[in-house]
Amino acid sequence: MGKVFSIATMELRRWLRERSNIFFVFVFPILMVLMIGLMFGSSNLRIGVVVEPGDRLGPELIDDLDRQGIEVVAISSTEAGVTAVERGELEGLLVLESSGSPRFAARPDTAAEIGTLLEASLARASIQYRVADLMAERLELDSAQSLTIVNRAAAMSPPLVTVESETVGSALFGEAETRFDLGASQQLVLFVFLTSLASSGQLILSRKLGVIRRMTATPTSSLTVLLGETAGRYLIALVQALFIVGATMFLFGVNWGSLFGVGWIIALFCLVGTGAGMLLGSISSNEEQASGVGVMLALGLAAPGGAMVPAEIFSNTMRTVAKLTPHSWALQGLGELQFRGGGVGDIMAELAVLATFAVVLLLAATLSLRRNITP
């Protein structure tokens, strides 16, 4: 096992020495997740609220905003809130003062949307105060007395209409927690496979240089060399996958769901990528050929597999075609974990299919490469 580990870690080291790999493994996927998130992702609005002492609207307003699915963030001062809006940390800021009208701040591109939303919310939250104030003025009552009457009347009012709703079928898209969730899983699948296929060039170079042959001239069996080369490519795919998961969690707060389940999908999908990379590396005659075919294959499988656009918008025929790609099964499993709160038990079918892909590809690669290695 020591020699297998030596060969594997040396392959990883070679991989990381290549500057272009650093960009394509560590920078490019994150940029893609960011771009897709910014362009297509949806997100809950975050509104900061500054409530000054003596203001009576605060609690009702916060309840109302919350009922609409808006994230309300308590802000200590107007200045801090304005800064947060300017930095894009909040979509809007509402300042509730004890005297005077409520004020709001938003960026020019969202000012109209935020303004309309807050005005409607303010109108709903303040209606009982307006009625109470009117009663106090017309009936010459105390303000507090009027408000109590209005609140009691509101509590006694029977609901005018009862609306009952029922959801039929499952949602086309699961419930994403952040705008980056979907893009992150797509890029994970796309880049793990792409990186695995790209690493085949390294294998071809080793063959061409005669290094693999030289390894077999040492007291190292062909099987050990084969296992080492396979483990090396698996390690590369694993580094790619773990980096995307870790970085998107840390940078964008992506919710991956059950990490145990994600771990299983990554472990098997990396094996699929490794098998594909090894097979490509063993049958290609040079790095250029492997690189061209690799990129074509990686993108050609990612597109129908749902790693570029969600498979949910495909036609039924295309969805059936997508099932022929390992990408589709990996994304289906990840979607179950991310958007539907599933666990390992819910993705057993996906794991079984990925394992089958991995076994078939690794077997084919081993047989093909063994012909190159074994005297």
Partner 1 sequence: MILECKSIRKRFGDHTVVDDVSFYIAPGETYGLLGPNGAGKTTTISIVCGLLGKDGGEVLIKGQQMNTGTVSLRSAIGYVPQEIALYPELSARENLVFFGRLQGFKGPQLKRRVDEVLDVIGLADRADDLVAEFSGGMTRRLNIGVGMTHRPELLILDEPTVGVDPQSRNAILGAVERLATEGMAVLYTTHYMEEAERLCNRVGIIDHGSVIAEGTQRDLVRQIGQLDRVTIESPGALSPLVEQIEALTFVSTASAKEGQLRVLLRDGGRNLTRILHLFEDNDVEVRGVQIDVPDLEAVFLHLTGRALRD
Residues in the site for partner 1, rule: CB under 8 A?
2-3, 6-7, 10, 13-14, 17-18, 206, 209-211, 213-221, 374-375
If the CB atoms of residues 128 and 216 are measured against partner 1, the closer one turns out to be 216
If the CB atoms of residues 8 and 95 are measured against partner 1, the closer one turns out to be 8
If the CB atoms of residues 2 and 108 are measured against partner 1, the closer one turns out to be 2
**CB of 355 vs partner 1, minimal distance in Å:** 31
Separation in Å, CA 182 to CA 27, 186, 318: 18, 6, 20
**CB of 233 vs partner 1, minimal distance in Å:** 15
Question: In this structure, what token pair is assigned to residue 371?
Answer: 């012909």
**CB of 209 vs partner 1, minimal distance in Å:** 6
If the CB atoms of residues 1 and 156 are measured against partner 1, the closer one turns out to be 1
If the CB atoms of residues 152 and 208 are measured against partner 1, the closer one turns out to be 208
**CB of 193 vs partner 1, minimal distance in Å:** 23
Whole-angstrom distance, CA of residue 243 vs CA of residue 240: 5
Please list, residue by residue across 192-209, b when 16 or more beta carbons sit within 10 angstroms of its beta carbon and e when fewer do: bbbbbbbbbbbbbebbee
Separation in Å, CA 214 to CA 8, 14, 186: 16, 17, 40
For residue 219, give the 3-state DSSP assignment: coil
Assign residue 52 a region (left: φ > 0; alpha: ψ between -120 and 50; beta: otherwise).
beta
**CB of 373 vs partner 1, minimal distance in Å:** 10
Q: What angle do CA 227, 231, 235 make, to 5 degrees?
A: 175
